[in-house]
Amino acid sequence: MKIDRALSDEICAHALSGYPYEVCGVMLGRAEGGVSRVERVVRVTNREPETPKIRYQIAPKDLIRIQREGREAGHEILGYYHSHPDHPARPSETDRRIAAEGLSDGVIHVVVGVDAGREATPKAWIFQDATQGFEEEALEIV
């Protein structure tokens, strides 16, 4: 996955600004020749009503709006990002379970570990239906 430094910085700034809560968003762009290129990120309000410090939820109406806007600009949804306050930048068991319940095969998930609200570290992962798990994806910040 390739992403411009400014967009990566935007994702990390969002994660830091939401600390100690999880934040979330959508990554739009193009996938060509086996390489996904993020060209836009959209911050989304975390709609998780009960445990927003350890879970996130993107409302269907937000996702439909972003998908429509992206399509009009010639972009597709490549994946999603969310933060893990005071936890590593890797998918949790809850992330894996939710991905396995949906249409997530080949979808990119960027998880941003946020350390004490001061440092944000992003890592990219791809969900694989065949293994029902995540595999780390190279994250190229250009």
pLDDT (0 to 100) of residue 34: 86
Residue 28 CB contacts under 8 Å (≥ 6 apart), including other chains: 38, 39, 40, 41, 42, 66, 70, 73, 75, 76, 77, 78
For residue range 127-140, list pLDDT tens digits in order.
Answer: 999 999 999 999 99
CATH topology of domain 2-141: Cytidine Deaminase; domain 2 (3.40.140)
Q: What is residue 103's predicted lDDT score, i.e. its pLDDT? A: 79
Domain spans of the chain, in order of start? 2-141
Q: Is 55 within 8 Å of 83 (Cβ atoms)?
A: no
Ranges of residues in the chain with a pLDDT under 70 are: none
pLDDT in tens, 113-123: 999 999 999 99
